[in-house]
Amino acid sequence: MIPNDIEITPKLIAEHGLKPDEYQRILDLIGRTPTITELGIFSAMWNEHCSYKSSKKWLRTLPTTGPRVICGPGENAGVVDIDDGQAIIFKMESHNHPSYIEPYQGAATGVGGILRDVFTMGARPIAALNALRFGAPEHPRTRHVVSGVVAGVGGYGNSFGVPTIGGEVNFDESYNGNCLVNAFAAGLADTDKIFYSEAKGVGLPIVYLGSKTGRDGIHGATMASAEFDQDTEEKRPTVQIGDPFSEKLLLEACLELMATGAVIAIQDMGAAGLTCSAVEMGAKGDLGVELNLDMVPCRETGMTAYEMMLSESQERMLMVLDPAKEAEAQAVFRKWHLDFAVIGKTTDDLRFRIFRHGELMADLPIKELGDQAPEYDRPWTATPKPAFLDASDVAAPNDISATLVKILGLPDMASRRWVWEQYDHLIQGNTAIGPGGDAAVIRIGDGPKALAFTLDVSPRYCFADPEEGGKQAVVECWRNLNAVGAEPLAITDNLNFGNPEKPEIMGQFVGCIQGIGAACRALDFPVVSGNVSLYNETNGKGILPTPAIGAVGLLPDISLRTTVAFKATGEAIIVLGETKGHLGQSIYVRDIVGRRNADAPPPVDLAAERHNGEFVRAEIRSRALTAVHDVSDGGLLVALAEMAMAGGIGASVEADTGLSLHAWAFGEDQGRYVVTLPSAGVDAFIDRAAEANVPAYVIGETGGTELTLKGSAPISLASLKSAHEAWFPTYMAGPDLLDA
């Protein structure tokens, strides 16, 4: 028997985030009262963040396979074949709770964690993106969180040396007490040199690598599985501290070590640190694991087994190594001044045993901790289907042009330059399209192959209609990839929701998953990795449902890429897809009219999305188009303004439809692209579109230094640009209300 120094009380159990029925399950499983170390291990493995106990049932419904999928969800990241013996390895993960408590370190370690997930599998990171959501601009904490999170994302990625090339930034009062920091990373590897976490072989050494273990981040994963209240500040010690310098050394050392052939299995220490990594390696390989904590490199003295098993100190790895190559492996880590210690071994009895000072501190069944953790079928109620909002019920603005200028300067629509100029988006020298376009494009090696990346979701759509919103997040990714000429390959999802124990929140989750699944099936766009972040609530109020989607596309030849910028004067401007003037949940209705009712968001026609997208891609690849931009937030006129500003060339357009002008200009109908081409090619292009059954309408021509919509006053590009560029720096230059 293991001695119990600390009495396991109901209070202690509750503090570990374990429900009474879960504790009963532990008692049934081990047939005795757990030790404090064991209780900590269970709480680490069975919390929502690590076990996916509320979401698993629904995640299983997503399509995860395809001809290019080498490895789907369940590993550190998804792996997709990009031809020529190469693979792209990518994933997105949230670091929401820590980023609100301690914005700089929370965001920095979020970036560090996702980079580690990628290079753990043998890939050198080539791109980072991030989807950030903050509270209302006027909330006293927002500016502080924005400045800390952006600096943290940059601070880690810039030092590590990966280009941060895109993402999203949005503001909404539902994030006042719960910001979202969703970090995406992608890395490149050879398909025959990919490393997995499944341990193989009995009696092999388990090696600890990287930085030392300290007391930071203890219970981080448990914290991330609970709601916030007014005492959130007290949780600051649960946030980890990042060291990008160590991570860069760890990257180089790991890749060098992998090249020696010494690595049998590898798992990074992320959430729930040593516990989670050791259990995953053993459980996946149907092996037991025995650890002697006296061998773990520590940076503090007197750490208990409990603390060591729950520490979330950063920049650490666990590996199973080929014993014949141990000396070689050790030399690599010595070169990079990183710790290297054999701390345990694999066993054949499926037990997870922990020793400290010669005493057995934990002895648990490894499978039940890991892949056989509890699972819930939480009750859910579907979000009622909202009613369609007719454009005739929406007030028209007095002045369309002035409204456009106002929209371009809204917090959710203004240029994000202030953000992305703090990110090194050029390092590695392969950035072909950086931040600010539809999708970012990175050349692979010396080319000609390239990859495109985008992150998208419209939380206000998801809130009004989770299923349509879920679909829309996927199709917007799909459009953004097609718009640069890339073939959409696969996605990763980062599902951020409130408390799943509330049936209406669970209903949002289920609805979004159903929408995402439907879209992925219709587009042959599998989900290869992902992350779920629940309990994003403060004082009982949840965030907008935010299933952020990250997507990757392939361009066989980088010279084919198109950008949003108008390229020349006198070119025809054509809208592909149907403009129906859907105003429900549009930026216009929300921010200009000020209506936040439960109106239906724009419906998604998956079949139309598919063939419109395929048509655009084919046209780009035959070099027929000079500029392409998908139509999303803000609508058609906003898309045109963005193209004009990017190219420094104006345009004259006419809304030659039966729609009222504001519905035409600001409606957010899906499935649309704006394209330009030399006027000589227009007739043939229209014929090809008709043949492909893609609606195509010539709406005007590029040229001049103004954007002119017939029936409204011309607007100079200079005034569009100043409105678009001014908001972010002006806002951030205001006083820090928290420090005031």
List, by residue number, the catalytic residues.
49, 95
CB of 315 to another protein, least distance (A): 11
Determine if 449 is a binding residue for another protein (CB under 8 A): no
Angle, CA 465 vertex, CA 456 and CA 439 arms, to 5°: 10
Q: Which stretch of DSSP H or E encloses residue 580?
A: none
Q: Of residues 600-659, which lie at the interface with another protein (CB under 8 A)?
A: none
Which of 158/482 has CB closer to another protein? 158
Q: How far is residue 256's CA from residue 250's CA, in Å, rounded to a whole number?
A: 10
Determine if 10 is a binding residue for another protein (CB under 8 A): no
Q: How far is residue 17's CA from residue 452's CA, in Å, rounded to a whole number?
A: 40
Helices marked H in 142-272: 142-160, 220-223, 244-259
CB of 432 to another protein, least distance (A): 5
Tell me the residue length of the chain. Answer: 740
Answer for which of 13, 183, 218, 249 binds another protein (CB under 8 A) is 249
CB of 128 to another protein, least distance (A): 13
Alpha-carbon separation of residue 338 from 204, 253, 325, 700, 704 (angstroms)? 21, 8, 17, 61, 59
CB of 423 to another protein, least distance (A): 6
CB of 255 to another protein, least distance (A): 12
Beta bridge partners of 69: 80
Determine if 27 is a binding residue for another protein (CB under 8 A): no
Block residue for tokens 């193989």: 200
Q: How far is residue 513's CA from residue 535's CA, in Å, rounded to a whole number?
A: 17
Q: How far is residue 142's CA from residue 138's CA, in Å, rounded to a whole number?
A: 7
Which of 43/626 has CB closer to another protein? 626
Answer for which of 424, 633, 642, 701 binds another protein (CB under 8 A) is 424
Determine if 507 is a binding residue for another protein (CB under 8 A): no
Answer for which of 15, 234, 421, 736 binds another protein (CB under 8 A) is 421
Answer for which of 78, 135, 177, 244 binds another protein (CB under 8 A) is 244
Binding mask 311-340 for another protein (x = CB under 8 A): -------------------------xx---
Determine if 294 is a binding residue for another protein (CB under 8 A): no
3 state DSSP class of 614:
helix
Name the DSSP letter for residue 464: H
Q: How far is residue 364's CA from residue 309's CA, in Å, rounded to a whole number?
A: 14
Determine if 243 is a binding residue for another protein (CB under 8 A): yes
Answer for which of 423, 497, 535, 685 binds another protein (CB under 8 A) is 423
Block residue for tokens 């994963």: 221
Determine if 116 is a binding residue for another protein (CB under 8 A): no
Which of 245/388 has CB closer to another protein? 245
Answer for which of 422, 657, 660, 719 binds another protein (CB under 8 A) is 422
Determine if 159 is a binding residue for another protein (CB under 8 A): yes
Angle, CA 316 vertex, CA 529 and CA 41 arms, to 5°: 75
Determine if 155 is a binding residue for another protein (CB under 8 A): yes
Answer for which of 158, 314, 458, 612 binds another protein (CB under 8 A) is 158
DSSP string, 18-69: --HHHHHHHHHHHSSPPPHHHHHHHHHHHSHHHH-TTTHHHHTTS----TTE
Using an 8 Å Cβ cutoff, are 460 and 601 in contact?
yes
Q: Of residues 548-567, which lie at the interface with another protein (CB under 8 A)?
A: 558
- Residues near another protein (CB under 8 A), total: 31
Which of 450/491 has CB closer to another protein? 450
Phi (first) and psi of residue 341, to 5 degrees:
-150, 130
CB of 31 to another protein, least distance (A): 49
Phi (first) and psi of residue 244, to 5 degrees:
-60, -25
Determine if 429 is a binding residue for another protein (CB under 8 A): yes
Structure tokens at 37: 């170390």
Determine if 432 is a binding residue for another protein (CB under 8 A): yes
Answer for which of 425, 460, 582, 724 binds another protein (CB under 8 A) is 425
Any idea of the CA torsion for 11, 15, 17, 20, to the nearest 10 degrees?
0
Beta bridge partners of 557: none
CB of 245 to another protein, least distance (A): 3
CB neighbour list of residue 145: distance below 8 Å, 6 or more residues apart = 99, 100, 103, 134, 135, 179
Answer for which of 16, 116, 443, 471 binds another protein (CB under 8 A) is 443
Structure tokens at 267: 């798992």
Q: Which window, 181-189, 426-434, 531-539, 596-604, contacts another protein (CB under 8 A)?
A: 426-434
Determine if 148 is a binding residue for another protein (CB under 8 A): no
Phi (first) and psi of residue 277, to 5 degrees:
-65, -40
Q: How far is residue 405's CA from residue 721's CA, in Å, rounded to a whole number?
A: 9
Which of 336/478 has CB closer to another protein? 336
Answer for which of 197, 430, 626, 712 binds another protein (CB under 8 A) is 430
Using an 8 Å Cβ cutoff, are 268 and 313 in contact?
no
Answer for which of 259, 331, 387, 426 binds another protein (CB under 8 A) is 426
Helices marked H in 268-318: 273-284, 305-310
Which of 2/151 has CB closer to another protein? 151
Structure tokens at 54: 């509320």
Q: How far is residue 277's CA from residue 268's CA, in Å, rounded to a whole number?
A: 6
CB of 337 to another protein, least distance (A): 7
Determine if 143 is a binding residue for another protein (CB under 8 A): no
Position 716: which residue type? S
Query: What is the contact surface with another protein in residues (CB under 8 A)?
Result: 151, 154-155, 158-161, 243-246, 248-249, 336-337, 420-432, 443, 447, 558
